[in-house]
Amino acid sequence: MALLVSNVPWAGPDADPKKALSKRLGVRPAEIRDVTLVKKSLDARRGKQRWSAVYRVDVANEARVLERRVPGARAWTDRDDGRYGLVDQAPVRRTDWPADLRPIVVGAGPAGLFAALWLAESGIPVTLLERGAPVEERVDAVNLFWRRKRELDPENNLIFGEGGSGTFSDGKIYTRRRDGELGFIFRRLVDFGADEETLKEGWAHLGTDRIRAILPPFRQRLRDLGCDVRFHAAVTGIRVEEGRAVGVELASGEVVTGAPVLMAIGHSARDSVQMMLDAGAAAAPREIAVGARIEHPQTLIDTGRYKVARGELPPASYRLAHNPEEGRKAHTFCMCPGGMVVPASNHPDRVVVNGMSFAARRAMWANSAVIVEVHPEDYGDTDPMAGFRWQDAIERRCFEVSGDYRAPAQRVSDLLAGRPSTDLPKSSFPMGLVPVDLREVLPGFVVDGMVEAIRCFDREIPGFAGEDAVLIAPETRTTSPIRFERDERGCSTTVEGLYPVGEGAGYAGGIISSALDGMRAARSIASI
């Protein structure tokens, strides 16, 4: 038997925790035979600024400690092993899969990559098609676009390409449990280059630079397992025969035969969504949230959260929500401490923004989306593509107002005072900002919802609504405004063998949830 001991002060990776644990447990240090850190997190409430840890501890006489009812100490259980340990639920390898039945995975974001990996590790040959480029070429294309402020490549950008939109993000990989299916995801991330220590953090993140480093070994692993990984392979049609998906058509004119077909297209592939609808997949509009990115100096957020100088503490983060009794709900989303606001359109002549951070989070700014709930009835139509048209109208308007890929922006103090901005603070946005009145580019109810939320958030973080805060628009791609109907297998209810997965299908929202959704569909296929 072992003990789980929580809320123990954590002094750093090189410190020996036995002294603190022996004091807590009431035993001599020599009686502690083994100590394993299973989780660490930062408690910054009310100016505490302290790291606390959870340890698995082997003590000479655990029963005696338990009899004393030591606060924060209890017996280690199998459930704890799943909650804190990277327990890998690897697939069972099949030897009877028909050689002529090769599943097709469309999209190399988290959902598509982990779907392909599960199938490949199950011994099932799979074809992975990605319309964009491998990550090395993709980074070059994005940097070229940022520098020249034109020549957006519709097939290779911050949205399309290896890793999906998560490649250029903060790379958050937070989840409460890490066993079973999740253990498979976390263990593979570590195998491909993620730091295993970060997976013990309560709010772990990879950072865009680490994600970029993980993707090439991930790709090589797929190929080593026999996966046919193809880039610059845009799918333009789904072959359906007698109500069953049997392959796909590529922009090159090639027809790739295979089944089932997993569509892991991401939240912004509007042409692919239309293609799935044309193939007969049933879907309906769904609720989303829209707003703008708010950017502050990181020092302002540090002071507001820590109440003292940050010192050696990590850049402070936040997650805020405003739920009024009347009016629209609003919340912050995808907070990037020490990060930057980035252009995130995959469509020419459209402006869209998002946030990303590198692993070290050393940039001088903090940013987060402030987004307001939007209902399907707001789209002005009822067909499945209505939400995409609604998003697109905002993005097109922002491009028209700025005149190029610069982003419309407004000081928060000006917004709250009801006046347009004439100047703006320095920003991380690489394409440049244009001072505007955000009511020119965003729906009135969205702006009203942001205003009320920001006033509320300013009470939690002083200065949140101050002179140094700027709103950069528009944040329209928080999730997909459509949901495809699926059965218990994850298969389309109207097209047999077609599996809509991940954010593009309306069933996920982030790296881990997307990977999990794709993997579950792959597991369902592998059990056929």
What digits encode the pLDDT tens for the residues 296-309? 999 999 999 888 77
pLDDT at 184: 84
In order of 167, 334, 389, 435, the CA distances from 350 in angstroms are: 21, 21, 12, 17
* pLDDT confidence of residue 488: 95
Three-class secondary structure of residue 348 per DSSP: coil
Average pLDDT over residues 127-134: 97
Q: Is the per-residue pLDDT at 313 higher than 90? A: no
Supply the pLDDT for residue 47: 56
Token code pair at residue 295: 């950017």
Q: What pLDDT sits at residue 429?
A: 96
Q: Is the pLDDT of residue 528 over 70?
A: yes
From residue 9, give the alpha-carbon distance in Å to each of 16, 17, 237, 251, 305. Answer: 11, 8, 57, 57, 20
Q: CA 367 to CA 325: how far, in whole Å?
A: 27
**Torsion angle (degrees, nearest 10) of CA 60, 63, 68, 73:** 80
Among 78-87, 367-376, 500-509, 519-528, the minimum mean pLDDT is found in 78-87
Instruction: Determine the pLDDT at residue 194.
Output: 85
From 3.40.718.10, 3.40.50.10860, 3.20.20.70, 3.30.70.2700, which CATH number describes the 3-84 domain? 3.30.70.2700
The pLDDT assigned to 263 comes to: 98
Structure confidence by residue, pLDDT tens digits, 363-399: 999 999 999 999 999 999 999 999 999 999 999 999 9
**At 175, is the pLDDT very low, low, confident or very high (cuts 50, 70, 90)?**
low
Tell me what pLDDT residue 51 has: 76
Distances (CA, A) of 255 to 55, 233, 234, 357, 494: 54, 11, 11, 39, 22
Q: Residue 250: pLDDT band by 50, 70, 90 thresholds?
A: very high
In this prediction, residue 91 has a pLDDT band, given cuts at 50, 70 and 90, of confident
Is 70 exceeded by the pLDDT of residue 486? yes
| Number of helices followed by number of strands (H, E) in the chain | 13, 23
Nearest one of 91, 89, 86, 93 to 118, comparing CA atoms: 91
The pLDDT, as a whole number, for residue 443 is 98
Answer whether residue 169 shows pLDDT above 60.
yes
More confident residue, 344 or 80: 344
The more confident residue out of 115 and 10 is 115
pLDDT above 80: residue 312: no
Lowest model confidence (mean pLDDT) among 73-77, 218-222, 344-348, 370-374: 73-77
Residue 168 and residue 111 in contact, taking contact as beta carbons nearer than 8 Å: no
Q: Using pLDDT thresholds of 50, 70 and 90, give the confidence band for residue 474.
A: very high
Higher-confidence position of 137 and 202: 137
Supply the mean pLDDT for the chain: 91
User: Measured at the alpha carbon of residue 506, what is the angle toward residues 501 and 508, in degrees to the nearest 5?
Assistant: 70
Instruction: Provide the sign of the torsion angle of the four alpha carbons 307, 313, 317, 323, taken in this order.
Output: negative
Helix axes 511-526, 110-121, angle to 10 degrees: 30
pLDDT over 70, % of the chain? 94
pLDDT higher than threshold 80 for residue 81:
no
**Average pLDDT rounded to a whole number, residues 210-214:** 94
The single residue listed with the structure tokens 């190029």 is 404
pLDDT for residue 105 is more than 80? yes
242-257 mean pLDDT: 97
Of 49-58, 391-400, 457-466, which range is least confident? 49-58
Give yes or no for residue 329 having a pLDDT over 60. Answer: yes
Q: Check pLDDT > 60 for residue 86.
A: no
Q: Please, which pLDDT band fits residue 521 given cuts at 50, 70 and 90?
A: very high
Domain ranges of the chain: 3-84, 104-284+482-526, 287-475
Superfamily for the 104-284+482-526 domain: FAD/NAD(P)-binding domain (3.50.50.60)
503 within 8 A of 111, measured Cβ to Cβ: yes
Which residues are bridge partners to 289 per DSSP?
Answer: 373
pLDDT tier for residue 427 given thresholds of 50, 70 and 90: very high
In sequence order, what are the beta bridge partners of 296? 366
